[in-house]
Amino acid sequence: MKVLRLDSAAEAARAGWDDLVEEGDLYYSAAWLAYLEQLYPGTQHLLIAVDSDGGIIAGLTCHTLPGDVRPLNDPLTVLTDGCGIASDAERKIRARLGPALLLGGRNAGTGRILVADHRGATSAGLALLAAAEDLARELGCRSVGINYALDTDNATRMLCAAAGYAEYRSGAYSRQDLRGHADVPQYLASLKGSHRKQVRVDRAGLDGSGWTFGLARLEPVHIGEILDLNMSNLEKYGAKSSRDSLRRLHGLALDVLPDRHVVSLARNPHGQLGGFAIFTLAGRNMYGRQGGFDYHLIGNLPVYFETVFYSPMDYAIRHRLDAIHQAVTGESTKSLRGFTQIPTWGYIRPLAAAHGLHPLFESPLPAGPVAGMTES
């Protein structure tokens, strides 16, 4: 078994990367990595482990992030937010452990070491983590981290434990399971009474408002219309962007992943755009990606819920999709409207002295095998 560094997503695809990815798992697919590669040139590094015959056993993404801002997907940001670390303590952590190399997926809600059903999968996964740490040192990073490993992802969690990564609770991943429901009434009947009531209250709140909603294939004409709302939403969550960078983000998505994007639009009785949400389709799954709202125009109307949750739900059921994925944050809001919450775990490994920064770093897990982590 050996570890290889790949130069591009195209090379990863040729090496069999997608054999490690479940169908419909958008953010780990070679196609998505090709998009990220063009969107953030020079920041993506791909590692694979292959057996003696050249067959792929495991894969791991590595991403460098901007150092002049506080990226929401920075492992040190997720760590400090997840652990409730005060700002002065965060500054000390960043001074000693920044920058951090992000492993296991760049998008919010991602965090996975991809492994095949192979007898050498454990050794391969550990070798990838070691190679990622070597890469981090070469790039001048002083820590490595995985942000959102699903509670159900035993492989990633056990590998991180075996490699001595410190673990903390990072959030919850929201997924709306729509399988087996022929129509919306049937789906609503499957919800808890309180959740079903909340959906009906939200939708009734729009009766007589004159607002219109619907999903359409995302086209270039939509991009110019949504930019201002997109920017205001990012600023609300502390992220910085520009019209040009957002125009490029959406335009590249249309170019690299054609015919995969739909946009949910909300308009007032005068035709003014009050909100939008972009979703990307992968297999039988739909992933919420970007959104924005004019809260002055909306007032107290439940336009947000219809745009982000209910119109997409109607669309997904009508097109026989299995699930809508809404990543992390806003867990209680999503749970109340029928989304399942899967706990996520963050993993961080300092590559520089971390004593005295936080209790999390005082008793690191020993590297080595852990119970339940055996070759098969």
CA–CA distance, 27 with 9 (Å, rounded to integer): 13
Calculate the average pLDDT of the chain. Answer: 92
Q: Which helix (H) or strand (E) holds 190?
A: none
Helix (H, G, I), strand (E, B) or coil at 192: coil
CA distance 21 to 343: 21
The residue type at 55: G
In order of their start, the domains of the chain are 2-172+343-361 (3.40.630.30), 179-321 (3.40.630.30)
The rounded distance, in Å, linking the Cα atoms of 170 and 146 is: 10
**Which one is predicted more confidently, 118 or 239?**
118
Give the model's pLDDT for residue 375. 35
pLDDT at residue 275, as a whole number: 97
Contact 171, 331 (CB under 8 A): yes
Q: Over 60: is that where the pLDDT of 59 sits?
A: yes
Q: How far apart are the first and last CA of the chain?
A: 15
Average pLDDT estimate for 255-271: 97
pTM of the model: 0.92
For residues 26 and 174, what is the distance between their CA atoms, to the nearest angstrom?
15
Which of 37-46, 50-59, 81-90, 355-364 has the lowest average pLDDT?
355-364
**pLDDT at position 235 over 90:** no
What is the rounded distance in angstroms from the CA atom of residue 141 to the CA atom of residue 304? 39
Give per-residue pLDDT as tens, 3-53.
999 989 999 999 999 999 999 999 999 999 999 999 999 999 999 999 999
Q: Taking 80 as the threshold, does the pLDDT of residue 239 lie above it?
A: no
Token code pair at residue 121: 């999968």
Q: Which of 87-101, 150-164, 233-247, 317-331 has the lowest mean pLDDT?
A: 233-247
Which position has the token pair 């119970």?
371
Burial status of residue 23 (CB atoms within 10 A of its CB: 0-12, 13-18, 19 or more): exposed
In three-state form (DSSP H/G/I as H, E/B as E, the rest C), the secondary structure along 116-155 is CCCCCHHHHHHHHHHHHHHHHHHCCCCEEEEEEEECCCHH
